Structure 1
């Protein structure tokens, strides 16, 4: 089943400046309660209009998965990030859910160049044209928390600039407060709670991780550590951080173009041996885990 094109950034309620805390709470709780209703309904044999065969159940799961993916996209960055996390958990969710949620990795709406320029000036104290000799107004990619633009510094270096979504910290503050209430609801008022499930503990872990992710200075420090750890392995290229052009909401990195590890045709066209790449990837991860004790915990094919 195909997916509809992503709506423009301004079409989403969470992107509007006048979006209230009350409106946010209503939207989030509507999603939670509707999902609980669907979970109950899908357990009722009569809801299938006949015998609930494996084929009918699979079709129903697909429909639910599409609804969840579209709803998370409509709820915005916090919930897109949660959906992306769940898309890696094939051990917890049916394949239909994993497949649909994985589409959130590359189907996030981009915000405007005018907003990008405003954030750059707020963070670095100068207009974007005084910092970069070239800045591509079209992002290379848009993710849940920010988007990436190709640029060139006045000193000539080719870079990529990661810019955080406008209003993200305000949205996180509101969302995480509401999510705390949802975690307490599941913990104390549903059959999924009790001593066997620590929903509040899961919430606290997600809250801490999300706040770390929106601090681009922390991300830059991690990138520097990673780069130092692999300085004696020329086969592993880690982009340099340009600290003069980096802030909590802005990260400027060396531009290192590459090929997706899952793009077999492009790898073959470039004359790269996939077996060698697989071995190098395994060696790099074993080094991170067993030697450095510092590892990349969110790998993507790109």
Structure 2
């Protein structure tokens, strides 16, 4: 694949841009399933990497992102006989002693295990998460390989990779995940009536088996597919044909203006076009009546970013893996369920969290000077190879836009950096030498990239910009930090006043005592 790519680059180097794009598109279509085949063969960490890529089509050509979507929840599962042995070995009991029923077909499979519906002897319906015994060893080997490569490619990133390894490997500790879910139910859920987390059942907890309460609804991945298929059906087209047609319409300002009169948010989100397509046809073109109008996608994204904002800033513990397969929506009740909290990243340093909050606000307000200042405060440093400068302002601001500026920020950053999306990784290494970074910053990037991927499936598209979505939560946290400092200052002032008053009242008493002692002696 790589050899053919390099040969193609050389062969078409003299062609106009449009013809080059056509040749590249043909190449991508021909090879689109090869990365998926390799990932499924290697499993482990590579599945996680594939999930991140599939959530962010801006990072790779669309053909590959589409092919990798299967990794979000449809990774090939293990046979039930294998799962039964794991469950019984972990619990030390026969499955029939704990469960009155256990669905043999999993509801989903991922990189480290799979999930089944079951019913306890008590009659309670639950979800059982089962871990593959070999998965932990594969992940450890993958990270060891990555660290060895970094020793030669970029030693400055070794510590970041080690912290990332710690975060990823924590997913194998189901007891820790149970504690994480309990924390979310206690400290986050009460603030969001329309959000719930599975409740772990500690009496059935094991090293490789996690039993939780069942959440109703469909994952966002299935929800997006259902939405697209339902609307495409009314046009007599396949989902892919209809999607291509709407993308074309989105690029036509006249059509966009016409549609926007019916759907004001159309210019902000591709999937709002999908949500409203039936209504648009019905009201303008008198086509088929609407049969499926799902909940508002942008509203869902507001909820998700508000929840993660509280986790990041107030709690200092956030889920770094909120991809579409880990989020469920119950259309009947409007309840959003957040699943899989194995990869919880903790940031105990409140000063760092406050600086990050200020960084997000500055980025949302396009305050370039403040963004550049806080970039360094957050522990980031790089050398811009073309000039040899350390953290040059324009490039630093472009990097910040890439990380937390959403699709518009990514586009702006690539233009400033002079980087082609088709050669993102190679061009970055040619221009940027990272000398300092932190794992929490990297994992926050990952969280936001995952949420952007969710947005593209539910109706927020290019309108979802992480720094804008997190701004409100960041401002509230900054206010809380300032209030804490004011309270601490007031308490300190009160103590000083008390001490001063105590000393001033003590001196007359001491003088009186001295007089009494002297008078007695005389």
Relative to the length of structure 2, the TM-score reads 0.44
Aligned: 1:289 with 2:289 = no
Find 2:130's aligned residue among 145, 159, 163: 163
Look up the match of 1:43.
Answer: 9
State the 1:131 CA deviation.
1.1
State the 1:210 CA deviation.
2.3
State the 1:224 CA deviation.
1.0
Find 2:208's aligned residue among 221, 228, 249: 249
Work out the CA distance in 2 between the residues paired with 1:206 and 1:38.
33
State the 1:225 CA deviation.
0.9
Residues 115 and 166, structure 1, Cα contact 8 Å, conserved in 2: no
Look up the match of 1:27.
Answer: none
Residues 32 and 63, structure 2, Cα contact 8 Å, conserved in 1: yes
Which deviates the most, 270-279 or 62-71?
Answer: 270-279
Deviations 1:190-229 (A, max 9, x none): xxx357xx56456434422321112212211111111112
Structure 2 vs 1, CA of residues 128 and 269 (structure 1 numbering), >3 Å: closer, same or farther?
A: farther
Work out the CA distance in 2 between the residues paired with 1:215 and 1:108.
21
Residues 112 and 136, structure 2, Cα contact 8 Å, conserved in 1: no
Aligned: 1:129 with 2:87 = no
State the 1:124 CA deviation.
1.2
Deviations 1:25-77 (A, max 9, x none): xxxxxxxxx65x45544432269999962100122133344211211112223
Aligned: 1:217 with 2:183 = no
Work out the CA distance in 2 between the residues paired with 1:300 and 1:118.
29
Work out the CA distance in 2 between the residues paired with 1:165 and 1:64.
30
Any stretches of 5+ residues in structure 1 without a counterpart?
Answer: 1-33
Q: Which has the higher contact order (CA 8 A, sep 6+)?
A: 2
Look up the match of 1:58.
Answer: 25
Work out the CA distance in 2 between the residues paired with 1:287 and 1:269.
36
Residues 78 and 172, structure 1, Cα contact 8 Å, conserved in 2: yes
Look up the match of 1:107.
Answer: 74
Any stretches of 5+ residues in structure 2 without a counterpart?
Answer: 231-274, 276-289, 329-522
What secondary structure sits across from 2:36 in the alignment? helix
Look up the match of 2:55.
Answer: 88
State the 1:154 CA deviation.
1.4
Work out the CA distance in 2 between the residues paired with 1:85 and 1:149.
24
Residues 48 and 56, structure 1, Cα contact 8 Å, conserved in 2: no
State the 1:87 CA deviation.
2.5
What secondary structure sits across from 1:53 in the alignment? helix
- How many matched pairs? 259
Residues 44 and 142, structure 2, Cα contact 8 Å, conserved in 1: no
Look up the match of 1:18.
Answer: none
Structure 2 vs 1, CA of residues 102 and 294 (structure 1 numbering), >3 Å: closer, same or farther?
A: same
Deviations 1:2-24 (A, max 9, x none): xxxxxxxxxxxxxxxxxxxxxxx
State the 1:90 CA deviation.
4.2
Look up the match of 1:6.
Answer: none
Which structure dedicates a bigger proportion of its chain to helix? 2
State the 1:133 CA deviation.
1.1
Work out the CA distance in 2 between the residues paired with 1:131 and 1:99.
40
Structure 2 vs 1, CA of residues 48 and 155 (structure 1 numbering), >3 Å: closer, same or farther?
A: farther
Residues 56 and 65, structure 2, Cα contact 8 Å, conserved in 1: yes
Look up the match of 1:141.
Answer: 108
Residues 74 and 108, structure 2, Cα contact 8 Å, conserved in 1: no
Work out the CA distance in 2 between the residues paired with 1:90 and 1:110.
25
What secondary structure sits across from 1:111 in the alignment? coil
Which deviates the most, 233-242 or 51-60?
Answer: 51-60
Structure 2 vs 1, CA of residues 87 and 276 (structure 1 numbering), >3 Å: closer, same or farther?
A: closer
Aligned: 1:298 with 2:321 = yes
